Structure 1
Amino acid sequence: MQKAATKPIHAPQREVTTSHDTQPHYERAKAAARFLKISETTLWHWAKTRDDFPKPIKAGTRVTLFDLTAIQAWLQGQTEGAA
């Protein structure tokens, strides 16, 4: 008897957005990288080497969070500075 081929089940990806308020919106590195449209490696590189990039916070021994509201403000500052 043959087993039916099964597809791996993946959790649906939720859209990562930030509102225009000043409340922090914390996400893990994968979601923050997706928000910025960069790789996780680049996100970690920026967090370690760019003094003006919002620093992540440790929420536990194996959990690090990025504030997407602060990242959004940083992005706006980058585009305003380039203009």
Structure 2
Amino acid sequence: MSNTQSPSLRPRKAAEFLGIGVSTLWRWVNTQPGFPKPISLSERTTVFIEGDLAAWRDKQAKAMAASNETQKPRGRSTATSKA
């Protein structure tokens, strides 16, 4: 029988997986709606499910891309027309 579950990551590895610091990971747990919740295995052992983190990261990337597509360019126009 094969194990089809995503691996679990300790907080330091979860932060590395997302490219952030451990303190940022815990801040996101407490402040970001929809951020994957940690699983407490014991009093001193907490893990995150890698697949949940990947899904959240991908969802954030898609939302950011969609937001960038709908925003108007900022700053000065590079085209100048002098008649």
* Structure-1 separation of matches of 2:6 and 2:37: 13
> 1:56 matched to which residue of 2?
38
* Structure-1 separation of matches of 2:6 and 2:38: 12
Question: Deviation of residue 67 (structure 1)?
Answer: 0.9
Instruction: Tell me if 1:78 matches 2:60.
Output: yes
Mapping of 1:1-83 within 5 angstroms? 23-83=5-65
> 2:73 matched to which residue of 1?
none
Q: Could you list the per-position Cα deviations for residues 8-38 of structure 1 after superposition, in whole angstroms to 9, with x for gaps in the alignment?
A: xxxxxxxxxxxxxx72321100100111111
Question: Counterpart of 1:61 in structure 2: which amino acid?
Answer: E
* Structure 2 length-normalised TM: 0.69
Secondary structure of the equivalent of 2:47? strand
Question: Counterpart of 2:21 in structure 1: which amino acid?
Answer: S
Amino-acid identity (%): 40
* Structure 1 length-normalised TM: 0.69
Of the two, which has the highest radius of gyration? Answer: 2
Figure out how many residues of one structure are paired with residues of the other and give that number.
Answer: 62
RMSD: 1.2
Q: Which runs of 5+ in 2 are unaligned?
A: 66-83
Greater share of helix residues, 1 or 2? Answer: 2
Q: Which runs of 5+ in 1 are unaligned?
A: 1-21
